[in-house]
């Protein structure tokens, strides 16, 4: 199976290159969203460690392992003493998987289902205690109802301090079906993929291609809606033409009727016709042809009309 392209998380101020494999964050997204919907009013918050590689100024997030939080104090991601013991063991194990590539712990993740994307004082304490390396990162995922989950990484700047009140670059965690083949963020941001392979120390397999997240990313462009402003002139043109046509027909009708009346008057004046008022209609008799013309009543009312 072809390896998916890595995505680059290019936030301002980050002192190393941070990349992630889309399938690794898809795993994180899935467990965060499932826990979000597992109970009403915000669901459960979950967390785990991020595994990957680090070297030559590059940090790659390639896998994740959830922490079995017992949620002793509620649905929030708050670690009990038992949870701390599990997390310590997980980190000490270094994320080694028999038969798999040798990965190391590059950070951790957890979800916030009732608050925004930031690191609380408790989160910072976990980060300092278990993930003290300058290149280790924290990822906060915020599931949303009926929308892609939002996410953001946190990292130590060049001075070692962490901007914890908000992430330096928020992004959306699309389902992998939407995110693959890894071109979504780069294409949406209008950024060409990195042309040169990035150096990775001690990695035998080929360096994956990368895509870049830079400006606040958006999902693929929606189907463009035709602006009403553009449609208006054509609509007005048709309306004008239709109104003009109606006016012409009405004028033609008046002219025709007027002509007819003139002809009748001329006939009466020349005594070719004899007109008399009969009840509520005008009965006109053409002398020459012995024909009867009734106006303005319809022909059906005339005497002698066929039944």
Residues found near Zn ion in the complex (CB under 5 A) = 120, 123
Report the length, in residues, of the chain. Answer: 307
Q: At what angle do helices 81-93 and 121-130 cross, to 10 degrees?
A: 40
Q: For Zn ion, which residue has the nearest CB? A: 123
Instruction: Work out how close the CB of 120 gets to Zn ion at its nearest, in angstroms, rounded to a whole number.
Output: 5
Judged by beta carbon, residue 27 or residue 110, the one nearer Zn ion is 110
Residues contacting 166, CB < 8 A, separation 6+: 116, 117, 118, 152
- Provide φ and ψ at 268, rounded to 5°: -65, -40
- Which pairing describes strands 17-20 and 58-66: parallel, antiparallel, or unpaired? parallel
DSSP structural state of residue 156? B
- In the complex, minimum distance from the CB of residue 115 to Zn ion, in angstroms, rounded to a whole number: 8
Minimum CB distance to Zn ion smaller for 120 or for 180: 120
Shortest distance in whole angstroms from residue 119 CB to Zn ion:
6
Q: Is the peptide bond before 181 cis (omega within 30 degrees of 0)?
A: yes
For residue 172, what are its two tokens? 């959306």
Residue closer to Zn ion by CB (options 151, 273) is 151
Which single residue is written with the structure tokens 């000490």? 92
**Cβ closest to Zn ion, residue 63 vs residue 113:** 113
Is the CA virtual torsion 89, 92, 94, 100 positive or negative? negative
Smallest gap from Cβ 222 to Zn ion, in A, equals 32
Return the number of the residue (124 or 191) whose C-beta is nearest Zn ion: 124
Buried b (16+ CB within 10 A) or exposed e, 270-303: eeebeeeeeeeeebbeeeeeeeebbeeeeeeeee
Cα gap 135→155, rounded to integer Å: 7
Query: What's the closest the beta carbon of residue 105 comes to Zn ion, in angstroms?
Result: 18
If the CB atoms of residues 102 and 165 are measured against Zn ion, the closer one turns out to be 165
Q: Please identify, using beta-carbon distances, which residue of 67 and 210 lies nearer to Zn ion.
A: 67
What is the nearest approach in angstroms of Zn ion to the Cβ of residue 106?
A: 18
Query: Which residues are within 8 A (CB) of 204 and not within 5 positions of it... i.e. 6 or more apart?
Result: none
CB of 112 to Zn ion, least distance (A): 5
Beta pairing class for 6-9 and 17-20: antiparallel
């Amino acid at each position: 199976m072809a390896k998916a392209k890595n995505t680059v998380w290019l936030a301002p101020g980050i002192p190393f290159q941070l990349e992630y494999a889309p399938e690794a964050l898809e795993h994180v997204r899935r467990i965060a969203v499932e826990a979000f919907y597992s109970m009403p009013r915000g669901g459960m918050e979950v967390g785990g460690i991020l595994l990957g590689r680090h070297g030559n100024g590059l940090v790659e997030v390639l896998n994740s392992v959830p922490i079995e939080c017992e949620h002793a104090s509620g649905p929030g991601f708050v670690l009990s003493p038992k949870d701390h013991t599990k997390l310590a063991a997980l980190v000490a194990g270094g994320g080694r998987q028999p038969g798999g590539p040798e990965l190391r712990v590059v950070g951790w993740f957890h979800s916030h289902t009732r608050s925004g994307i930031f690191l609380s004082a408790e989160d910072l304490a976990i980060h300092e205690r278990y993930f003290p390396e300058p290149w280790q990162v924290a990822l906060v995922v915020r599931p949303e109802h009926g929308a892609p989950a939002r996410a953001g990484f946190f990292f130590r700047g060049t001075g070692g301090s962490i901007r914890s009140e908000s992430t330096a670059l928020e992004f959306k965690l699309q389902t992998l079906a939407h995110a693959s083949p890894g071109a979504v963020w780069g294409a949406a941001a209008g950024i060409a993929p990195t042309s040169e392979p990035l150096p990775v120390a001690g990695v035998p397999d080929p360096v994956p291609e990368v895509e870049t997240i830079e400006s606040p990313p958006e999902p693929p462009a929606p189907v463009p809606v035709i602006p009403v402003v553009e449609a208006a002139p054509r609509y007005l043109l048709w309306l004008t033409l239709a109104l003009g046509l109606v006016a012409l027909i009405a004028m033609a009708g008046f002219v025709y009727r007027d002509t007819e009346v003139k002809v009748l008057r001329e006939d009466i004046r020349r005594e070719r016709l004899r007109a008399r008022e009969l009840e509520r209609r005008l009965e006109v008799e053409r002398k020459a042809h012995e024909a009867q013309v009734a106006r303005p009543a319809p022909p059906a009312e005339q005497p002698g009309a066929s039944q």
